[in-house]
Structures are given as C-alpha cells and as structure tokens.
Amino acid sequence: MRFGVHVAIAGGLPRAIERARELGCDAMQIFSRSPRSLRTRALNEAEAADFRTMARLSSISPIVVHIPYLINLASPKEQIYEVSISALREDIARACQLGADYLVIHPGSHVGSGVEAGMERIIKAINVVFKDRECRDRNREGGLKLLLETVSGAGTEIGYTFEQLKGIIENLEGEGEVGVCFDTCHVFAAGYDIRTPDGLNEVLEDFDRVLGLDRLKLVHANDSLGDLGSRKDRHAHIGEGMIGEDGFRAILNNERLREMPFILETPNDDPGDDARNLARLRELAGCLPTSPVGCSAK
C-alpha cells in the first residue's frame, strides 16, 4: 500500500518533493500553481526537470496534480466557462511537464442551471480539450490520466452519485483516458455508508456495477465532520470524524482497495498534523514497512 499527502509547493515545485520525503510519503499530491488564481506564469522547464528528477530518485509514486478549485467546467456563465476550459488545457500540459500520473478535477457546479445542463457543459469542455491534438498527444505520451473526483453534493455540485460520473465519462471521446478519484469524506457525505465492511462492500459493488472498479485509480483519505448524507464537504482528521477509526479500518483493509494509493487531504492547522494522519492510516491498515517506501499487511 502507498500513502501520501497533499503537499505545499511554497518555495518551488522541487521543494514539494523534499517535503513529501521528509514526511515519509510513498505518494503525493500538489497543485501545480496557486489554487487561488486561474492566471499563472508558464512552468519553467528547468524547475519541471528538477521536479521530475527528484520524483524519480525519491521513488514516490503516483505523483498527483489537483486542479485549482476555482475552475468550474459546469458554469452557465460563459466567461467563467471559457476560462475554466483554458485552465484545464493548461493544467494538463503542466501535469505532463511534471511527469505526473494523474490530474484530479472536481466535475463542476451547475449554479442553478440544472444537473443535466451542467453535465452537458462538463462533457463538452473535456471533449474540447481532448480534441486539441497537441494536448491529447501530450497527455498520452506522458501517461497522464484525468480523474474525476467524487464530490459531496454541496450546493449545486455535480458528481455526487456514481450515475452522474458515469453519465459524464461514457460521453467523453477520450473516455479511456479518464478514471475516478474516490474521496472518502465526499462519498460518505453524499450518502454512501462506508463505515462497516458490509456497507463498504455494498458501495464498492454499486461502484463496480455503475462505473467499473477498473476506473478507480486513487483514494482521497479524509474523515468527515458532516454525518452520512449531510452533503457537507468538511474534512476531519483520520478517526476523528463521523467515519471514525472503525470505518477507516474497514476501508484500509478492504481487499478491493488494498492496491489503491491513498492521499490525505486532512486539516493541516498544526505542525505534525500530516505526519500524525499518515501514521494513523498505516496503523489502521495494519502495515509493516518492507522497504523505504510502501508497506504490506501484517
């Protein structure tokens, strides 16, 4: 099993690799630019090359890039929609330049225009980017896969049911290049009860029936401050939310999830929070270190 955290890029992208190594990460996630703006400088190739080299030497894998939250591929506002499409195209290019394995995106929010209309805009946006030959070729050559993240359903979010994700993916021209990121907090808040082995198995069977487990590539490991079906996107430390220690023990020991990389997006308010949550994940998974990275079941 491989565990990691979302790492800050302050001080430069290569510094993120150093932070991940200091934490003992086997996997990692970053923003490739500031998440608070859709405008950014071009990625310096020397910096990107240093990042790729450090990632290779560190044996950290997978390398995951998360798209900025300001992007909304379902927006009915034309200006925001066009800027979001451009940002997706740019973030794919940046992720490929960094040698990332996955680019995670939230599908989008329909902002009152309706789920169906929002889904149509998401599909159109991704297809527009995938039709860009340069972007498409860069994606394939770099081995990058686009991952749609399960969301909590807060506000007008799209993607809080497996059926909604299927409706998007099956209409993409490059659907073979698209997978799913399973966020434990979001799935639970959306109404899927993953707190017990039986409940989790039912949810995964539903996922397999609707989407196919072969599309599941990554787990965002987050406890939930909101209760089951609350539709609240509020992350908690592992074992300290409504999913709880027993819930994460079930998740981490499920045979269908044992090969998944787990990335933490838990609160990081105090020094040591990330290390503490990483240690808790490994403890609940019942892992023993077998090498400088990774672990196997006891």
Catalytic residues: 36, 66, 69, 106, 149, 183, 186, 220, 233, 235, 265
Question: In 3D, which of 16, 14, 21, 18 has the Cα closest to residue 48?
Answer: 14
To which residue do tokens 């081995």 refer?
A: 143
Cα separation, 184 vs 199, in Å, equals 13
Cα separation, 100 vs 155, in Å, equals 31
Please, how many CA atoms are within 13 Å of residue 151, restricted to the half-sphere of its CB? 19
Q: Are 103 and 144 in contact (CB under 8 A)?
A: yes
Please, how many CA atoms are within 13 Å of residue 14, restricted to the half-sphere of its CB? 13
List, in sequence order, the alpha helices (H) in 59-183. Answer: 78-97, 115-131, 133-142, 162-169
Cα separation, 272 vs 251, in Å, equals 24
Cα separation, 221 vs 277, in Å, equals 10
